[in-house]
Chain A
Amino acid sequence: MALKWKRSLAVLMTVALSITLAACGGSKDKESDTASTNNNTSSDGKVKLRIMWWGSQPRHEATLKALELYTKNNPNVTFEPEYSGMDGYLDKLSTQAAAKNAPDIYQLDPGWVSDWQKRGQLAELSGVDVSKVDPKVLTIGRFDDKQYAVPLGSVAYGMIYDKAALEKSGGAAPQNGWKWDDFFALADSMKGKLPQGQYFTKDYAGDYFAYSAYQYAAGKGTIVTDDGKFNIDHDTYIAWTTKFEQLRKDGLVPPADLNASDKEFDPTADLMVSGKILFRLSFSNNYASWDSLKPGAYALVTMPRAAEAGGWLKPSMFFGISPNSKNAEEAQKFVNWFLNDPEAAKILGTQRGMPVNSEIGASIESTLSPADKVGLELLNATLPDGQTFTTGAPGWTNFIDKDFALVRDELSFGRTTPEEAFNKLKSAAEEYENQ
C-alpha cells in the first residue's frame, strides 16, 4: 500500500508540476488568443468600440454620459468602456498593447505619447479635425507632420489646500503669485500649532513633479533635457531636499509609512481628504474631484515661484487609437466628435481640462459649474508667465516611475542623505542616457 502511495505521489507531483509549468508558460499565448476576438464589427454595420481612460468619479460619469449621447446620435456605434483610477492604468494598457489587444481608443498622458508613437502603438489620426486647436499643444502628438494623438484639454499645475484647517492653525491663506520662500515660511510658522496627527504638506522631498516645479522656479530648467540628458541642478536639489529634511524633523510632513500610504482622490487614503495634510499639489481640473469628496473645503493657489514662475500649463491628456483597431474609422469619427462637438463639450466640462478647441472653450465658459470655474481661475493665473511644458525625452518614463520613486522612499524613510540621493539619481540616469 505504501508503495502504491509513493507511486501515486509521484504521479500527483508530475501532474502538478506540469500544470504549474503550463500555467506560467502559457499565459502569453492566451493573451494573444484573445486578440483575434477583437473584431467587433458585425455584418449589419454595428460597431462596438472599446475605450479606456483613467480618472476620478466625476470624470467617469461625464465621459459615460458623453458616450451615451454619441450612441444616441449614432445608433450603430456602442461602447465598451474600461475606466479606473491612475493606479495601475499604464501597466494594464501596456500589457494589453503588448498583446496587440489594446482598446480601440485610449487615453494617454502627454509624457507617454512619444514612447508609444516610437513603438508603433499609435495609429495616424488623419480623420480628426484639429484646425481649431492651438498648434502649441498639438506638437506633442505630432510626428513627421502627422497627428498620432490629440490633446483633450489644457490644465495648470498648482496647489490645493484645506481652507478651514489652515485657518484653524492660524495660517494666512496664500495668494496667487506667492513664492517658495513664502511656502516654507508658512510651513515653519505652523510648527507646534498643528493638531496631533496633522501635517503641513506631503513629504515632497523626492517627488518628481514637486521638485520639477521647484527647479523650474529656480530657473534651472527641466530635470531631463529634451535630448535625453540628466539635468538635475545639484545645488537646487540639495537645497530642496535639505529643507524637507528639516520639515521632517519638525513634524511638518507625515512620517514615511503614512506618507507612502497616500492615494490621490481615494476617499479614505488621500491624506488631504482624510484631514492629515493641509497642502498638496493639484492640477486645475482636479479641483472638481476633490470638491466632490468634501464640497467647499478646498481652494487652489498657483505653484509658488522664485526667480521664475513655478507652475505650467500642459495638455492634460491625449486620445490615441490603436493601430490594431478593426474600427479605426469609427474610432476617429468619435474622437473628432469628442474634440469638436459643442454638445459633447457641454457634458464633459473641464473634466480633462479646458477644451483645447478655442471656440468650444469659449462657448462653455458660461455653463461651467462653480467648481470648474475655480479651476479656470488657476489656469488664467498661471497663463501669463507659466513655464513651457515639455514631455521630455522619450524612454525616460521608467526613470520617473521607478528610479525616482525609490530615491523618494529612501529620503522619506531617512535612509539616505540629500547628497547620496543626488548621486543615486545621477547614476541611475546613466542607463537611460545611453539607451
Chain B
Amino acid sequence: MNRTANAASNTGAPLAPPTKKRGSWLKRWDAPIAGYLFILPWIIGFFGLTLYPMLLSLYYSFTNYTLMEDVKWVGFKNYDRIFMHDDKFIQSIKVTFLFVLGSVPLKLIAALLVAVVLNRAVRGISFYRTSIYFPSLIGGSIAVSLLWRNIFGVDGFFNKMLASIGIDAPGWITNPHTALWSLIMLSVWQFGSSMVIFLAGLKQIPADLYEASSVDGANKVTQFWKVTLPMLSPTIYFNLIMGVINAFQMFTSAYVITNGGPMNSTYVYALYLYERAFGRYQLGYASALAWIMLIMIVIVAALIAWSSKYWVFYEADTGRGKRK
C-alpha cells in the first residue's frame, strides 16, 4: 500500500502541489497506524499482562517483598540463599529435570506413533482422531488429576485389575519410587496436541517420496526411518521445544495428585515456587525462583535450538551444513 502510494505520486503531475504532498504523507502513515491499531489489543495485553509483571517480578526478586509489608531492597540475598543454603531448591530441580527427561521423549514417541497410525485414509478416521485427541481436551485439569489419583491409588482401579490376575502392586502414587512415574504417565497420556501437529507435518510429506523409495525397494520400516523421520524433523523440533517448556512448568498434577510427596519425590519446581509465594508469602524469594526457572528454560531451549542444525532437516537448504 505504501509503495503504491509513492508510485502514484511519482508518476503523477510533476508539479505536485504541497497539499498533495501532505496527502501522501498522511497516506504513508495511514497504513502502519491502522496496522498498529489492529494489534493494539495484543500490545496492551503484552505490555500490561506479560512484560510489566515480568519486569516487576525481576525487581521483586531483589527485595524481601511479602505482599503485606513494605518492600525492602536486599540485593542478591535471595539468590544467594537459593544457591547456597536451600536443599528444597536442589531437590525440586532434580525432580523437575527427571520429569522433563522422562515425560517429554515418551510423550513425543507416543504422539508420533499414534499420528503415523492415524495418518491413513480409513473409513471413520476422523472419529478415531477425535477420540484419541479427547484426553488432551480435558488434559491438565483438576478433574483428570483426581481421576488419576483414584485409578492409581492403593485400592485404585489399576491395582484391582492387577490383583485379579494375581499381582500384588504397590500404591503407585504413594510410593516414592513410582509416584513421579505416575505423573509422567499422566502427561504422556495427554499427547493429543503434539499428535495433531505431527499429523499436520505428516500430511506435508510429498507422496512421491514414498513412491520413489518403494520403487527403490524400501519397505515400510525403512521408509519410516529414511523418509518420514527426516521430513518430519522440523515438526519434531517444534514439539520438542514446546514440550520441554511445558514440562518445566508442570504444576497441576503434582499439586493435586501427590502434593509433592511422598518424601518429596514429586516436589517439582513450580510447586516449590508456589509454596514460597502463597504458603509463606515470600514473594521476593519466589520471584527469584521464577527467574532462575526462566533462565533455565532459556538455556535448555537454546541448547536444543543449537543442536537442531545437526538433526533437523529442511528440504530447501540441504547445503546448509557445507556453507558453514
Contact = CB atoms under 8 A, between A and B. Distances in A.
Interface of A: 2-3, 5-6, 9, 12-13, 16-18, 20-22, 24-26, 28-30, 91, 94-95, 98, 119-121, 256-261, 268-269, 274, 397-398, 401-402, 405-406, 409-410, 413, 415
B245 A3 contact: no
Contacts of B279: 91, 94, 397-398, 401-402
B53 interface: yes
5 contacts: A6-B316, A91-B279, A98-B278, A98-B281, A406-B264
B39 to A, nearest CB: 12
B50 A257 contact: no
Interface in B169-211: 170-171, 173-176, 204
Given A6-B316, A94-B278, A405-B261, A121 B68 contact: yes
Contacts of B171: 257-258, 260-261
A402 B91 CA distance: 14
Contacts of B204: 5
Contacts of A256: 174-175, 262
A258 B174 contact: yes
B234 A6 contact: yes
A260 B154 CA distance: 9
B279 to A, nearest CB: 6
B67 interface: yes
B54 interface: yes
B50 A21 contact: yes
A318 B202 CA distance: 60
B238 interface: yes
Nearest to A405: B261
Contact of A261 (B54, B174, B176, B275): B174
A18 B67 contact: no
Given A119-B68, A260-B174, A3 B246 contact: no
A353 B40 CA distance: 57
Contacts of A409: 176, 261-264
A274 B156 CA distance: 13
B155 A22 contact: no
Contacts of B176: 409, 413
Contacts of B170: 257
Contacts of A261: 153-155, 171, 173-174
A21 B67 CA distance: 23
A25 B49 contact: yes
A26 B238 contact: no
A256 B261 CA distance: 12
A22 B50 contact: yes
B154 A258 contact: yes
Interface of B: 45-46, 48-51, 53-54, 66-68, 153-155, 170-171, 173-176, 204, 234-235, 238, 241-242, 245-246, 249, 261-264, 275, 277-281, 314-316
Given A28-B53, A406-B261, 9 more contacts: A2-B314, A2-B315, A5-B204, A6-B314, A22-B45, A29-B49, A256-B174, A409-B263, A413-B263
A1 B68 CA distance: 57
A259 B170 CA distance: 12
Contacts of A274: 155
A29 B277 CA distance: 15
Contacts of A397: 279
Contacts of A18: 46, 50
B316 A120 contact: no
A413 B263 CA distance: 9
A195 B306 CA distance: 61
Contacts of B154: 257-258, 261
B264 A22 contact: no
Nearest to B234: A9
A135 B238 CA distance: 65
A179 B124 CA distance: 71
Contact of B241 (A6, A13, A95): A13
Given A25-B53, A94-B279, A269-B153, A3 B174 contact: no
B53 A398 contact: no
A257 B154 CA distance: 7
A402 B174 contact: no
> Which of A5, A18, A259, A415 has its CB near the most chain B CB atoms (within 10 A)?
A5
A13 B238 contact: yes
Nearest to B56: A28
A260 B261 contact: yes
Given A257-B170, A260-B261, A24 B249 contact: yes
Contact of A12 (B238, B245, B263, B277): B238
A22 B49 contact: yes
A256 B263 CA distance: 11
A345 to B, nearest CB: 35
Contacts of A398: 275, 279-280
> Which of B51, B173, B175, B241 has its CB near the most chain A CB atoms (within 10 A)?
B175
A97 to B, nearest CB: 9
A42 to B, nearest CB: 29
A430 to B, nearest CB: 10
Contacts of B238: 9, 12-13
A342 to B, nearest CB: 38
Contacts of B53: 25-26, 28-29
Given A13-B241, A398-B279, A398-B280, A26 B50 contact: yes
Contacts of A21: 50
5 closest Cβ pairs, A-B complex: A257-B171, A2-B315, A260-B174, A26-B49, A257-B174
B289 to A, nearest CB: 13
A274 B174 CA distance: 17
B91 to A, nearest CB: 9
A95 B153 CA distance: 28
